[in-house]
Structure 1
Amino acid sequence: MTETIYSGLTQLGGATRLPESPEQAQLERVRNPQADLSYAVRFTAPEFTSLCPMTGQPDFAHLVIDYVPDEWLVESKSLKLYLGSFRNHGAFHEDCTISIARRLVEFLAPRWLRIGGYWYPRGGIPIDVFWQTGPAPDGVWIPDQGVPPYRGRG
């Protein structure tokens, strides 16, 4: 088989078990064939789950990750498995959201990244967590994340 930018991927194209924890999850990346161009990439995880570190009860969030890649693209199956590994991970909303962003920034070294963690209420209070590496690059269209604030039944 001919060597390609996809040759080093180990999780794509076959059965892969969900990692036991975020620390065990293996993110994978490929070279960005369009690295000369600044453009935005969005990943949306509307059914993200983690555990409350105090009660062990599940917490649910709608995550939106936007990034402007430089030399690397995250491979989406590895990202899905990484995000899924949080389902047995106990941490507060803020820690989960920021840990995901920091790991992606460290792994990809993107030109820019932002994350919106839109968490469903815990104890009657929704907690939304937002972070970005800095101002969005000039000339790149970064759409609104499109997640309305939590309104409950009102």
Structure 2
Amino acid sequence: MSESIYAGLTQLGQKTELPTSPEAAVLERVPNPHPDQNYLVRFTAPEFTSLCPMTGQPDFAHFVIDYVPDQWLVESKSLKLYLGSFRNHGAFHEACSVDIGKKLIDNLQPRWLRVGGYWYPRGGIPIDVFFQAGTLPEGVWVPDQGVPPYRGRG
């Protein structure tokens, strides 16, 4: 991290504790080295956890985050810590999924962003939550998110 463009990062290369809540998490960004090019960035978090706000029981999800950056990229360690901060956070599936998308939009101002939250069943019902913002630039290859619909034992 000798380059000055990375000098403001506070978590990468440092021992960093897991934030106690999404509100306490610091989502950091770095300059996009190719702001003149449309390309897709994908993050996959197959072990996301949060808490049911009513029962306090754990909820589990597989998240896929796709975005076409403009001027900024999300710094991946800070994203990992931000997603981990939901571990003790009570919120419904829809709130967690949309909050993640909105936080990324506020921080990065991407050209396009899509969040797929594939939640594992609780009470016998899986809930998948999809959030998208912006218009996908023409010519950007966006592969399928690769998460099959929940089938149970069927």
Q: Which TM bucket (shorter chain)?
A: over 0.9
How far the C-alpha of 1:4 sits from its partner, in A, is: 2.5
SS at match of 1:66: strand
Structure 2 unaligned residues grouped into runs of 5+: none
TM-score for both structures, normalised by structure 1: 0.97
Aligned-residue Cα RMSD (Å) equals: 1.1
How far the C-alpha of 1:3 sits from its partner, in A, is: 4.4
Cα distance between partner residues in 2 of 1:152 and 1:134: 34
- What is aligned with 2:126? 126
Structure 1 unaligned residues grouped into runs of 5+: none
SS at match of 1:133: strand
Cα distance between partner residues in 2 of 1:144 and 1:138: 17
- What is aligned with 1:43? 43
How far the C-alpha of 1:6 sits from its partner, in A, is: 1.3
- What is aligned with 2:86? 86
Cα distance between partner residues in 1 of 2:59 and 2:79: 19
- What is aligned with 1:12? 12
Q: Is the 8 A contact 2:49 2:84 kept in 1?
A: yes
Cα distance between partner residues in 1 of 2:93 and 2:3: 41
SS at match of 2:66: strand
TM-score for both structures, normalised by structure 2: 0.97
Cα distance between partner residues in 1 of 2:58 and 2:102: 23
- 1:114-154 residue CA offsets vs partner (Å, 9 max, x unmatched): 00000000100000000111432101001110100001112
How far the C-alpha of 1:24 sits from its partner, in A, is: 0.1
Amino acid at match of 1:126: P
Amino acid at match of 2:129: V
Percent identity between the two aligned chains: 77
